[in-house]
Structure 1
């Protein structure tokens, strides 16, 4: 829709009509939500509301723009899947969520099944009823002017007061302990992830504890795995929170490292996690986490987007809308026990752990004569491009004569 324009105007006509203006709006949609994201300069407030109203009530589904987008997406996806790192994350997501189709990457061939009329039908259903929408507006505006636009452009949106029911798509992470190894790509770099999952209850207290935990965890990973052991190009831990259908946290630690040392380095990750769980870290890590989080808050609180997201947190968690303003006070209360208890709760490698290791391809795929077993008339492996024969590692495929 973003490339189709809106109403009677295609994308170019819309661009010309709004030249010199600073206002934009776009549709957002997920499995559990639909809505808008919009922004503008103070002088273009009405235009922002007009765009929201037009996208909501007079969307444009342009076939030419659709075909162009599909072609470009197919080419982009085809190229991206040739990248070993992209392939790795594609496999990782599938393993974490047990091949659930809603958690898998889109592949180029799937785009052939995308139908413009079906997209239009989905939009018409999801945006047919605005009676349960909640609009959060933050920024520099005149309140009387704002309310006039709200009544005109939002108050006139259709509403049917229909009752909707959450659909459970069975998106739940793995449980238990497992390991996956495979080969992909060439070179001297290995990608590896060690993942754990645990239940998570959304609250401001848990969010603060989570933020503090990953400040300390990443600092200790950097010191233990990257600086002391070397052999790793990247080591980074991060959490992913899901609220539906079963609230949980997925913790991922990614390594890009020397293939020969991947097992040693993954063991070091687990040793570091155990240090954090047992509270074996100095006080300065706690004070550093407090200071870092305070500084991040001080920067972000100046932005409209942070206020919008903070208010939305209050709405979704049924809390006071200004709950997020309590962060500074709560950051001051972070101590070693906060971090260790959070680690015990969410770094559950003893219960749920997935190791995924992608090694560069080796000459083991070649036959005893140093070839891949089957060649075309030019001596190229039947399942590889010429410059990727046998993964390109210590293997030469030559033209053979009969």
Structure 2
């Protein structure tokens, strides 16, 4: 981190003069520990295990359990590469008191099996286990704690289970092989040069994974899985005292480790001279550049470190705004750029400036990033930029405080993870707001300029370039990359011009239209309005979040209503319109005008609909309506903006054919659609033919008639104000009173048994997909029946393909049900495996489907489906987005808007008989089955 606190002394002096700092010396004041969030109950067991408990009411009757182990792949011995991750898998395979099957049966019974959200992850520095449990069933919660304690401290590592899991792990290793992995290995060898981090990726090596013994992995577990290296984090709807007692009961039953192996902190060595690398691959589909300055870790646990991080955050925010503005210039050096300051490891932080750029603009992109660095070093930031950044931060903190009791436990629990990993103090939302309000009035650009002058150091500096390897494409050498910094530093840079527009977003407010019909849906409380221009509005007021309103709007038609030559242009219309701004405001001046407000508006044209979507906070509701009105009635036509947008899109399209997965995806879409021209992927040649006139013509056609649009609002809005804004803004959106719908494009999948084999990529892996498509009559019950079938297939494929055959890391079935343009269901099964096993494993998938069709569905299977669907529904009902999505789905399919109220009844109607009937009706693979298989280019 920066070498001293000297660049916040001015800030401290100001606080001293204002009486905020009193008798304490400044030095002592800076080192004052931050107070821990008082809502947390934190303790340490006699054996050294730390626990953190937080009561949280959302969702009701649910607890989130996280077991954090302060051990990762960096702690592996040389003969254990990959065994930290392998251990993560093995603790689910049996413990002192529970067999693998008993663990699975219990987790399935509470809706938390592998198909219900059970998960774990391994990084270089830690391992994390994730579990959810009901709190209204004390015996289930008690058992969840017992199992988790034994997974962390009493796993058995059965030899048979270990050998079966070896194949699964090797398939996971195989799945990750590819251009990204090869590129990252090179880049991380540079960034972590001389460090153990460069030698320890979590997935490990094939050599170790295929040959290690039980003794090797048991040694890892016994060395590192011990109480003093574990933290238990529990968040949910419960009595904290009772939870603490349960923790003592199970986790406290284990003694502290005797003569524990010392936990080593591994440094990332410093280097005086800059270092660079160009890492390219013939399957890489994009080009990126990164500038990285490595620093000592910044642990935010004192007032001084909090001030430092606050100054850095404000600077990063302002720098990102500058980079975003530069990316929208007429001929941008990059398509997207970002700045970030975050932990690199537990022993290093990093300031990073990165960009994605056209393959022929690598040097230009690096020069642009370095120029922005010099602009800050020579001229600093401006007071206008700082004012907007502070205002935006304040608004975000206000939102967090307003919703502090409305946050879902499953999301809240993640906010504690990084402080645990990197040693930050856990601050509550009110504390964060309090400290920010205390210090922010005294922050100056001089403070931030000073701290960034130390962050942009000469030493510990890396430049990385990644991109495709293609004939005729050359990259600068490592030496040329490093030389660019000296060249840019030698050139004077002009100061940043803070371009703003001092005028209201809407100067003239239209006269209100009328609400011609209105009613309230009695059971749900949804308010229905029909406006004088034909727009229909459905509004559901909730209190799930105090500071959130979501919206969606749709009209039938979409790309299907356009001519074939407009297909590619239509795909970019919505995004281009939003990125161009409206009226006199381009995107840059608009974003600056919106500082301190939380409003997001999106537009897009899909195959069968044109859509608007977004979100806003209640106090910005009128602003959101004004922006909808302005975007739709006064879009900004700018050739420069269009050229910039097309240039950025071209960057991501030009090399997509180099990526085997992208080719596979495009091929699957083509085969399933019968190679229909409206579903073709976008090519650079077609993108280059799109014109601004064409884009604007399509926009005015698709968004020029709102008489058939439906708007949906869900959240904590003022109902009277919502009606007023609907009359003023929505009722004045343009109409043509056309009678139109989407056009049936007659996209028809092939019939019969179809198999296509693609030879893609150099890696020894196979990706296989099977799709069966059937005629279907849409109903909400059929939709949930197919979801139940998906869940059961996931579990049975886990047993039959992953466990019994050790053939895949994951095999999964996903269903889809459409009413329009033609009633149709599709069931897609996907797996990744070794190239020589795809026939065997696809046959096993079909056999699994046939077993369900034959009625081999046990009572335990039905219970698993019920509990998982019920658990998922309870979690969904705590989110505004669930209700928004359900209302839209219902209205699109001409069902009552509040048909979601019947979800529980429909779950109860799922039986063994209904599952078998659904499988027989929609698993039509014996008649019609499409297989698409990707094999490596070079066969062994």
Fold match, TM over 0.5? yes
Q: Distance in 2 between matches of 1:7 and 1:304?
A: 32
Q: Distance in 1 between matches of 2:710 and 2:764?
A: 51
Secondary structure of 1:119's partner?
helix
CA drift of 1:320 comes to 2.2
Unaligned runs of 5+ in 1: 364-393, 395-402
Quote the residue 1:163 is aligned against: 739
Quote the residue 2:792 is aligned against: 216
- Confirm whether residue 94 of structure 1 aligns to residue 670 of structure 2: yes
> Which digits, 9 at most, give the CA deviation of each residue in 1:144-174, with x for residues without a partner?
1111111111111122322225322221222
Q: Distance in 2 between matches of 1:322 and 1:245?
A: 23
CA drift of 1:52 comes to 0.8
Report the RMSD for the aligned CA atoms in angstroms: 1.6
Alignment of 1:62-77 (within 5 A): 62-77=638-653
- Confirm whether residue 309 of structure 1 aligns to residue 885 of structure 2: yes
For residue 835 of structure 2, the aligned residue among 230, 244, 259 is 259
Q: Distance in 1 between matches of 2:709 and 2:891?
A: 11
CA drift of 1:196 comes to 0.8
Please say which structure displays the higher CA radius of gyration: 2
For residue 288 of structure 1, the aligned residue among 849, 852, 864 is 864
Secondary structure of 1:239's partner?
strand
For residue 716 of structure 2, the aligned residue among 140, 145, 148 is 140
Q: Distance in 2 between matches of 1:43 and 1:31?
A: 34
C-alpha spacing 1:200/1:62, structure 2 compared with 1 (3 Å): farther
TM-score normalised to structure 1 length: 0.87
TM-score normalised to structure 2 length: 0.38
4+ residue segments displaced more than 6 Å: none
Unaligned runs of 5+ in 2: 1-576
Alignment of 1:80-91 (within 5 A): 80-91=656-667
Quote the residue 2:335 is aligned against: none
Return the structure number with greater relative CO, CA threshold 8 A, min gap 6.
1
Q: Distance in 1 between matches of 2:596 and 2:708?
A: 34
- Confirm whether residue 359 of structure 1 aligns to residue 921 of structure 2: no
CA drift of 1:183 comes to 1.1
> Which digits, 9 at most, give the CA deviation of each residue in 1:302-331, with x for residues without a partner?
222221222223323333221111101211
Q: Distance in 1 between matches of 2:823 and 2:598?
A: 38
CA drift of 1:199 comes to 1.2
Aligned length: 364
> Which digits, 9 at most, give the CA deviation of each residue in 1:230-255, with x for residues without a partner?
12233121123333332212221111
Quote the residue 1:56 is aligned against: 632
The more displaced of 213-222 and 245-254 is 245-254
Task: Judge conservation of contact 1:2–1:26 (CA < 8 Å) in 2.
Answer: yes
Q: Distance in 2 between matches of 1:67 and 1:351?
A: 49
For residue 617 of structure 2, the aligned residue among 13, 29, 41 is 41
Task: Judge conservation of contact 1:234–1:257 (CA < 8 Å) in 2.
Answer: no
Quote the residue 1:324 is aligned against: 900
Task: Judge conservation of contact 1:4–1:65 (CA < 8 Å) in 2.
Answer: yes
> Which digits, 9 at most, give the CA deviation of each residue in 1:154-212, with x for residues without a partner?
11112232222532222122211111113111121111111110112221111111111
- Confirm whether residue 193 of structure 1 aligns to residue 769 of structure 2: yes
For residue 298 of structure 1, the aligned residue among 870, 874, 884 is 874
Q: Distance in 1 between matches of 2:902 and 2:827?
A: 26
Secondary structure of 2:742's partner?
coil
- Confirm whether residue 343 of structure 1 aligns to residue 919 of structure 2: yes
Secondary structure of 1:137's partner?
strand
For residue 5 of structure 1, the aligned residue among 581, 594, 618 is 581
Secondary structure of 1:224's partner?
helix
CA drift of 1:216 comes to 0.3
Q: Distance in 2 between matches of 1:348 and 1:269?
A: 13
